[in-house]
Amino acid sequence: FPFLFLFKTKTTKLNIYAKNERLYLFHETRKKNSSVYIFEGNGDAVTANLAGLTNASAICGVNINEHHFNLCRRHGIYDVIICLDADEAGLSKAKSILDDILKNIHDIRIRFIFLPEKTVVIDGEPKLLKTDPDEFIRNNGLDAFLAAAKDDELSAKAAIIREQLENPESLKNLIIFYS
């Protein structure tokens, strides 16, 4: 085995697939549309695409970052709609997008869709469960998904996020919240 240590190895980083820089189904989205719906899960994007939303893509990594917006910009897409769950995690992710990413991005219009929570009775007690976009589209259809963007109750949640920003006036024209 000592002969194995005699060889120097050089590794090069190949840019074949960088998970945190790609959007699932983006190769189809970029051909047809001037806007893109970005979902958290690949299954959500596939379901939306099969339902007729041809500009649906998904985050391939853990979190959306500046590389994703640069990818959209390179392909002439300046309208991004991000679909997040209406739970605490979704709201905090939206806040982190606003705080971190939008400091450097000023030419892309970003909107959010927060899906409503559903009430389920378990053991005689009503409990709120988050609604997955895949499930929501399958059960209610694409029109109901797009109509969920106009729900006034969730607009209040978007307003809370906007109030938490240090300088909301600077982002007022850039970001329009769907909820």
Measuring CA to CA, which residue among 98, 105, 103, 118 is closest to residue 159? Answer: 98
| Rounded-to-integer distance, Cα 133 and Cα 116, Å | 10
| Rounded-to-integer distance, Cα 153 and Cα 92, Å | 18
Q: What is the DSSP string of the chain?
A: -GGGGGS--------S--GGG-EETHHHHHHH-SEEEEESSHHHHHHHHHHT-TTEEEESSSS--HHHHHHHHHTT--EEEEEEESSHHHHHHHHHHHHHGGGT--SSEEEEEEEPPEEEEETTEEEEEPPPHHHHHHHH-HHHHHHGGG-HHHHHHHHHHHHHSS-HHHHTTTB----
Q: Are strands 23-24 and 56-59 parallel, antiparallel or unpaired?
A: antiparallel
Do 54 and 29 contact (CB within 8 A), yes or no? yes
pLDDT value for 173: 38
pLDDT value for 162: 54
pLDDT value for 3: 55
pLDDT value for 17: 66
pLDDT value for 113: 84
| Rounded-to-integer distance, Cα 88 and Cα 92, Å | 6
Fill in the amino acid letter for 69: F
Question: What string of pLDDT tens digits covers the 179 residues of the chain?
Answer: 455 555 555 666 666 667 778 898 998 888 877 889 999 889 999 999 999 999 999 987 668 888 888 899 899 999 888 887 766 777 788 888 877 777 777 788 888 887 777 777 788 888 877 778 888 899 889 998 888 766 534 454 555 555 555 455 544 434 444 33
pLDDT value for 2: 55
Q: What is the dihedral sign for C-alpha 160, 157, 102, 16? A: positive
